[in-house]
Structure 1
Amino acid sequence: MSFFKKLFNTPKPEEPKASNLEFENLPIEQIFVKKFVENQGKFLYCTSLTEVTTNIASIIKENSWGEIICNDYDLQKLIKSVDVKTSEKINNKNPLFVSCEHLIAENGSILFSSNQLKEFKISELSENFIVYATTSQLVKSKGESLTGIKTRYQGNIPSNISAIKNFNPSSKNEDFMSYGNTNSKNLYLLLFEDL
């Protein structure tokens, strides 16, 4: 029998990769955070809206930002008590305080649409982002996030759907498939526990 196996060079069944096994039994939140931090994102977990506001104030102070952009009415309520000038007009000079569509665990990326970015491409926006998201926005994969958008916005799917995966604008990506991708951002994620 082994003679035929050698003769026909039957490949051995592929062993599962250790890295996949490592993540297989982890909760989706831990998978996302691990991948997000590996991509050099800055992660702040918040259990109350007071914590969210305090963390925003600390981020602004740490970076000496005098003005931020926020065009979301609900998010403007969060930063009302923070000592910073806000503008609703999106530009590429001031940091952007924004929500997102989904947090994708499989690669630690953050998915946005025209609901957050309007008609702007990510590459046209500021290098600095503060993103507010909730734990209910976590999904396993890109496919699941796109299905979620399709379900949520039935018949009125937003345009300009794109993601940020690299959170260090000065890093050099040697991956040929990412050549020319300028979606790298200095990004702070405020993840609010809502489940």
Structure 2
Amino acid sequence: MSLFKRLLNPKGKSEDKVKNSDHSKYYPEETLPIDERFTYNFNRNGGKFLYCENMEEILEAFDNILLENDWYERDVFCLDEMLTSRFDGFNLNFITKANATFFLSNCESLVANNGSILLCSKQIKEKKLHELPANFVIFATTSQLVENISEGLRKIKSRNKLHIPSNITTIQDFETNKEKDFMSYGSSTKNLYLLLLEDL
């Protein structure tokens, strides 16, 4: 009898679920901390995430990326002088032209709600994502985590009050074989490694 009741009354299922749960249906859903949400969404998008506690671990992880992909003695597109000096000991040829093996850069923010990387003209000048190499290595810190794109844009505006950077974009599609949907139309797929340094 109860089997037929459940089949004929699907509302009963949700009512039972509310009765059995610890909270009422009006209680706000529990959300994961911002770092866990970013990690989950970033991995779901196909990104490769390397968490490091200090610069020694960053350099070791970078070395492993080069080894895994056989990127030693290759051209690297990098526009940040701090990064070229920081990663100088790896026998790489740093160039300012986009026809390189991979793109080494920092970013503006790491967006937790969709696992994307927020970039602007400080990192990519006036280039579009499809003009950049297919492989990215992004260096970021945990203090760059934001809830959503709006918060990331507010941070850009507050840091650059006199001159707001142009060419602001996000990248969140990191799997070449992932099936595209309407929302990802026009986006550029990148093979992306994130070197995340703990700085909080």
TM above 0.5, one fold? yes
Range of TM-score over shorter length: 0.7 to 0.9
| 2:61 matches 1:61 | no
Q: Using the alignment, how far apart are the partners of 1:156 and 1:68 within structure 2?
A: 28
Partner letter of residue 65 of structure 2?
I
Aligned to 1:126: 133
**Aligned positions, number:** 173
Does structure 2 conserve the Cα–Cα contact (< 8 Å) formed by 1:53 and 1:82?
Answer: no
| 2:42 matches 1:42 | no
Aligned-pair distance for 1:50? Answer: 1.1
Q: Using the alignment, how far apart are the partners of 1:109 and 1:177 within structure 2?
A: 14
The SS at the match of 2:51 is strand
Per-residue CA deviations over 1:60-88 (Å, capped at 9, x if unaligned) read 1111122322221111122122232222x
Partner letter of residue 70 of structure 1?
C
Aligned-pair distance for 1:90? Answer: 2.7
Aligned to 2:163: 156
- In percent, how many aligned pairs have the same letter? 43
| 2:91 matches 1:83 | yes
When residues 111 and 33 of structure 1 are mapped into structure 2, their CA distance, relative to the original with a 3 A threshold, is same
Gaps of 5+ in 1: 1-14
User: Which has the higher Rg, Structure 1 or Structure 2?
Assistant: 2
Q: Using the alignment, how far apart are the partners of 1:164 and 1:130 within structure 2?
A: 13
The SS at the match of 2:166 is coil
RMSD: 1.6
The SS at the match of 1:21 is coil
Partner letter of residue 46 of structure 2?
Q
Aligned-pair distance for 1:54? Answer: 1.2
TM-score by length of 2: 0.81
Q: Using the alignment, how far apart are the partners of 1:169 and 1:126 within structure 2?
A: 13
TM-score by length of 1: 0.83
Aligned to 1:73: 81
Gaps of 5+ in 2: 1-24
Aligned to 1:191: 196
Does structure 2 conserve the Cα–Cα contact (< 8 Å) formed by 1:101 and 1:137?
Answer: yes
Partner letter of residue 79 of structure 2?
N
Partner letter of residue 69 of structure 2?
N
